[in-house]
Structure 1
Amino acid sequence: MAEAQLFVSQDEFTCSVCLDTLTDPVTIPCGHNFCLKCLTDCWDQSQECSCPQCRENFTTRPALRRNNLLNEVIKNINKTTLSSPPPQYYAGPGDVECDFCAGKKLRAVKSCLTCPASYCQTHLQPHYEGDALMHHKLVDPDRYLKEKLCEKHQKSLEIFCKTDDSCICMMCVVTGHNGHKMVELETEREEKQKQLGVTLSDIKRGLEEREKTLKETRRMMEEMKVSGIGRQHF
């Protein structure tokens, strides 16, 4: 008897909060599945407990336990899918390559600022399964990952030192910037964007004023020409 094949949609194993494949899947009373961390963060930030997908409210916050069966199904599907990756999974021009693939490189799905390295789906799994790696900072694939590391300590640049006007890592904070004025890099970036927005608005306002003055000057010149021509004709 031929072995039956089960065809499932990838959407069935996608978390509707992060829109990625379920990690540590949990099933809530309404029947919908989410990543344990996604749902926990969602409920921690809200005054009520409701399903992010169907919006059903729960008077008592349900206890969240990993759905081991669903977790195993997702693991097996990932292994089966990635054991013979289709051509579109291989890194092409403009893609970020997995740093750990031997031979033909697969396309990276995440870059880790803590490691630092880029990973395909297969080599990324230890970051989701091992306690030692679960707290690493994962970002979208970044080909310029090395440029975002401290040259001295090879750690991710997370702090902006206002005193030295430079981006530094946490190790730099401890070893060489004692007493300096510092903020998180993201905070400084947002502040710079605001300043840039104000500057661009000022430039735009200045250009509009110049355009207005130029139009007024042209209008006056036209009136003078008309007036001069009228006197000459008279």
Structure 2
Amino acid sequence: MAEAQLCGLQDEFTCSVCLDTLTDPVTIPCGHNFCLKCLTDYWDQTQEYSCPQCRHTFTTRPELSRNTLLNEVIKKLKKTTLSPPPSQNYAGLGDVECDFCTGKKFRAVKSCLTCMASYCQTHLQLHYEGDALKHHKLVDPDRNLKEKLCEKHQKSLEMFCKTDETCICTICGMTEHNSHKKVELKMEREEKQKQLGATLSDIKRGLEEREKTLKEMRRAMEEMK
């Protein structure tokens, strides 16, 4: 009975960074658990200390100490039959890699414009299951996410300043662009697409008229011959 219960809780004892059973588990202030090495390596590669699972950000790097009780429970879990993680494709040439896989990375299936990160099928599940992430904007895998970040504030570019004709983030909109005329980036994109469509139509019309004129000139030349 106890082993069956542990098997049912297997996902609770899986590190969301390496997707394997927790090794030397540590618990951070937001309540999520990770392998000590996975979390240490993850934080060593960034200047912002956030939870890899819920994205909660900490002002200072939390001290990590092993969760002894959880470690004992995991030892019992390892004695049961563990199911392997779901089958996925590793990222190949031209694929967008998952930002949260360690070691050999899986192919990303979605990119999040709110988190500004790309996710494989496994790491993406939190965006479907977590209440805090359900409303994030997911798009097809995008390898150029950094180009969509404000260089000054490292926030996503969500607005367009019509005064300066440039894309800005919300912080820019409240500071140096505060008195400028601004619209949502999506609205500006739709307007530009309409303008481009109208321009292309005018060009097409002009080409058709020139082609018609050229045919008439050729016909007149033939008659003259």
TM-score computed with the length of structure 1 as normaliser = 0.57
**Per-residue deviation at 1:191?**
0.9
User: 1:212 is matched by which residue type in structure 2?
Assistant: K
Report what 1:153 is aligned to: 153
Report what 1:112 is aligned to: 112
Q: Deviations over 1:135-168 (max 9, x none)?
A: 3322221111111111111111111111000011
Report what 1:128 is aligned to: 128
Match of 2:175, SS state, is helix
**Per-residue deviation at 1:186?**
1.1
Q: Deviations over 1:110-147 (max 9, x none)?
A: 21222221111222233333344333322221111111
Q: 1:1-234 counterparts in 2 under 5 A?
A: 83=85, 85-86=87-88, 89-225=89-225
Measure, in 2, the Cα distance between the counterparts of 1:199 and 1:134: 39
Measure, in 2, the Cα distance between the counterparts of 1:136 and 1:219: 62
Identity percentage of aligned residues: 79
**2:86, 2:122 within 8 Å by CA — same for their partners in 1?**
no
User: 2:161 is matched by which residue type in structure 1?
Assistant: C
Measure, in 2, the Cα distance between the counterparts of 1:220 and 1:129: 72
User: 1:208 is matched by which residue type in structure 2?
Assistant: E
User: 2:113 is matched by which residue type in structure 1?
Assistant: L
Question: Relative to 1, partners in 2 of residues 1:130 and 1:212: Cα closer, same or farther, differing over 3 Å?
Answer: closer
Match of 1:97, SS state, is coil
Measure, in 1, the Cα distance between the counterparts of 2:136 and 2:85: 25
Measure, in 1, the Cα distance between the counterparts of 2:118 and 2:206: 46
Unaligned runs of at least 5 residues, structure 2: 1-81
Count of equivalent residues: 144
Measure, in 2, the Cα distance between the counterparts of 1:135 and 1:205: 43
How big is the alpha-carbon RMSD for the aligned residues of Structure 1 and Structure 2?
1.9
Question: Relative to 1, partners in 2 of residues 1:221 and 1:178: Cα closer, same or farther, differing over 3 Å?
Answer: same
Higher relative contact order (CA 8 A, sep 6+): 2
User: 2:96 is matched by which residue type in structure 1?
Assistant: V
Unaligned runs of at least 5 residues, structure 1: 1-78, 226-234
